[in-house]
Structure 1
Amino acid sequence: MTAAVFDHDGPWTEEEYLALGETQQRVELFDWSLYVTPGPTPLHQNISGELRAALRRPVRDAGLRVLEAVNVRLRAGRIPIPDLVITNDIDLSVLVIEASDVHLVCEIVSPSNAATDKVLKMHYYAAARIEWYLLIEQETLTMHLYQRQGAHYVERSVTKAGEVLELTEPVRATIRPEELLG
């Protein structure tokens, strides 16, 4: 993958980006440029897996899907890979999920890319009209739930270890941050 990135001139098309295929690094497309980060830590992946497990039943009961690390097209030339999404009951064979099919997007903040999740991606997800944004700080297991209001997100709740997050939209679910450690 490295040779393909450094031998490339100019902006990346979506077709070129998708042709990279699966990689060890997380490669996202932001405004026709690649954004490459190392693979997530085991702690990050454990939190993601436990959250998906906690949401699985409520999401199925609502006729939706919960998916980890999938391509989401926010607009042409902008395809991030959120840590977790709740989507409509989509075709699972597609390479890219449209933002209009996403009800909630979740990012688990890594210390090395906190600004990307807290500022850049938050702005991009709101601009794409994704209604709910769940931001989890893995170092403290603090969960921030945001709801879109116009072109921005407004924080609706902050849940710390020992407390309970009661989701009512897009699904009904109860999540305890400490249970995300497995």
Structure 2
Amino acid sequence: MTTAIFSDGHALTEEEFLAIGETPERIELFDGSLHVSPGPTPRHQKISLLLATTLIPAADAAGLQVLEAINLRVGTDRIPIPDLVISTEIDLDELVVDASDVRFVCEITSPSNASTDKVLKMHYYADAGIPWYLLIDTKARALHLYRLDGDKYLEEAACEAGDVLRLTEPVAVAIDTAELFPPV
């Protein structure tokens, strides 16, 4: 379950959020409130690792990079932690990556965050102008690829376990769901 936390009844700024420092908890900033969720399941992490391993060679060939679980600035006082992004070359020592450097963002749903990923984060990523959004629905064992059209995402492709999702942008790669989804 994700929890919203406010500090002394006032909205937190990005500066106050970053002053918290590194923590073992997954803390995100959404419009001035902190959202804390439990760590992902091993299944979630396995999917993230397999997806990153699939994307890295294609990203390298395109002069891009794959990053996991970064602080991503998508607006004023909005810093989610997506599961995975494909970005341009950035300073790897910066604490926060700006959305303008991100070409692709991926969220892998967990029981505690599915609605946040499907609604709130999708809206934030579209609003920030990130061209591609991949939503991996672990419960349905499905992939949904969205392309930014104006200020909202349109579904570009979808596939279920056993199918292959082919990306042409921002990298050319085939994602085989038979390899991505570990057996249940």
Which TM class, normalised by the smaller chain length? over 0.9
Q: Distance in 2 between matches of 1:82 and 1:169?
A: 19
- What's the CA shift string for 1:58-94, capped at 9, x where partnerless? 0001000100000010112111000000000111001
The answer (yes or no) to whether the contact 1:145–1:157 under 8 Å persists in 2 is yes
TM-superposed CA distance for 1:8, in Å, is 4.3
Q: State TM-score, norm by structure 2.
A: 0.92
Q: Distance in 2 between matches of 1:98 and 1:6?
A: 24
Q: Distance in 2 between matches of 1:6 and 1:104?
A: 30
Question: SS at 1:112's partner residue?
Answer: coil
Q: Distance in 1 between matches of 2:134 and 2:99?
A: 15
Going from structure 1 to structure 2, the CA distance change for 1:162 and 1:117 (only over 3 Å counts) comes to same
Deviates more, 1:132-141 or 1:48-57: 132-141
Number of aligned pairs? 178
Q: State TM-score, norm by structure 1.
A: 0.93
> Which residue does 1:47 correspond to in 2?
47
The answer (yes or no) to whether the contact 1:24–1:38 under 8 Å persists in 2 is no
Q: How does 1:30-179 map to 2 (within 5 A)?
A: 30-179=30-179
Q: Which runs of 5+ in 1 are unaligned?
A: none
Q: Distance in 1 between matches of 2:171 and 2:111?
A: 29
Cα-Cα RMSD: 1.4
The answer (yes or no) to whether the contact 2:6–2:12 under 8 Å persists in 1 is no
- What's the CA shift string for 1:10-60, capped at 9, x where partnerless? 221212211222222211001111111111111111100110000010000
Q: Distance in 1 between matches of 2:21 and 2:50?
A: 26
Q: Give 1 or 2: higher helix fraction.
A: 1
The answer (yes or no) to whether the contact 2:6–2:33 under 8 Å persists in 1 is no
Question: SS at 1:81's partner residue?
Answer: coil
The answer (yes or no) to whether the contact 2:72–2:98 under 8 Å persists in 1 is yes
Q: Distance in 2 between matches of 1:171 and 1:151?
A: 22
The answer (yes or no) to whether the contact 1:110–1:138 under 8 Å persists in 2 is yes
* Letter paired with 1:56: I
* Letter paired with 1:114: A
